[in-house]
Amino acid sequence: MRQRTIKLRVDVKTMGMQMPPIATLLITPFKKVKKTKVLKYCPKCQDQIPKYHQEYTCPQCNTKYSSWAKLIRKTKGGKVITRKKYTEKDKDVIANVYMMDKVKFSVFADATVTEYGVVIKDQVSGSNLKKLLVASKALNKVIIVTYYDVYEKVIAILTTTVTGRIILRQIVPKNLLQEKDTMKFDTEDISKEDIEETKALIKIIPTAGDEQLTTDDYRTIGLDEMEEEEQKVIQLEHLLAKLKGKKKGKKKEIVVKQ
């Protein structure tokens, strides 16, 4: 999905007339994944960036490389990026379980690649959007939104995240989906016994904190350099704005003298 405004309507006709849209929404991403700027160097020369033409060729030693994976990856600041291998393919992985109060978790962004936040355009949209969410949460209804976006039909579910953020979760069309048999959970099938057993279980689950919601893998290498660059850009923009303001002030003085 791309950022755009969509109008939600109930696809029925009254007296032969199509009902007007019940809400106008702006679909917009609410998270950004940080990525370091990566440069690929010749493993032999270390400081030379190979040129690509069907294969990578070092301009200094003339060594050829068939793939970028054979080059050394460095950040703009010269830090070597190495990826630590934590698990093997096709083998079971141990996953730790933690818990955190919803209020504490609400400070974190929890979107995936295929989830977009929405912004209402007016009061009526907000009121009708709330009704759709009430239907979703209190009346056990699935709210499906479909529209054509350039070349493709978008099919999405209007719902909320764990923190209560309103989102459109894009799904794969039924006729394009190769579904795997996975478990499902029926929230209507929760008994008092289930609740009491669950209370006993969560007592032994450790509480999650910042450590469980941050990473220390290769993707973090060079992020400090990006933050320093951003600060320099902000400082430069501030300086240019001040200089521009001074120039405008001088022009005003000239006009007064005339």
Band (181; pLDDT cuts 50, 70, 90): low
Whether 244 and 124 share a structural domain? no
Q: What is the pLDDT of residues 3-62, one digit of tens each?
A: 889 888 777 777 788 878 888 888 876 556 677 888 999 999 988 999 998 899 999 999
Whether 126 and 169 share a structural domain? yes
Which residues neighbour 176 within 8 Å (Cβ) at sequence distance 6 or greater?
none
Whether 17 and 45 share a structural domain? no
pLDDT at 111: 47
Q: What is the pLDDT of residues 200-234, one digit of tens each?
A: 878 887 888 888 888 888 888 888 887 776 676 66
Whether 28 and 52 share a structural domain? no
Whether 164 and 66 share a structural domain? no
Reference 133, options 161, 152, 96; nearest CA is 161
Whether 23 and 45 share a structural domain? no
Query: Is 157 a member of any domain?
Result: yes
Query: Is 248 a member of any domain?
Result: yes
Whether 61 and 122 share a structural domain? no
* Cα distance between residue 57 and residue 49, in whole Å: 9
Query: Is 163 a member of any domain?
Result: yes
Give the pLDDT mean for 234-240. 70
Q: Which domain holds residue 48?
A: 38-75
Say if residue 195's pLDDT is above 60.
Answer: yes
Query: Is 108 a member of any domain?
Result: yes
* Cα distance between residue 39 and residue 78, in whole Å: 9
Band (249; pLDDT cuts 50, 70, 90): low
pLDDT over 70 percentage in the chain: 81
Band (67; pLDDT cuts 50, 70, 90): very high
pLDDT at 139: 81
* Cα distance between residue 81 and residue 39, in whole Å: 10
pLDDT over 90 percentage in the chain: 14
Whether 18 and 145 share a structural domain? yes
Give the chain's domain count. Answer: 3
Whether 26 and 52 share a structural domain? no
pLDDT at 210: 86
Query: Is 182 a member of any domain?
Result: no
Q: Which residue has the higher pLDDT, 242 or 217?
A: 217
Whether 20 and 126 share a structural domain? yes
**If you average pLDDT over every residue of the chain, what do you get?**
79
Q: What is the pLDDT of residues 95-123, one digit of tens each?
A: 766 766 766 766 665 545 478 888 888 88
Query: Is 245 a member of any domain?
Result: yes
Whether 145 and 55 share a structural domain? no
Query: Is 80 a member of any domain?
Result: no
Lowest mean pLDDT segment, chosen from 30-34, 159-163, 189-193, 248-252: 248-252
pLDDT at 58: 94
pLDDT at 57: 94
pLDDT at 113: 47
Whether 142 and 250 share a structural domain? no
Query: Is 86 a member of any domain?
Result: no
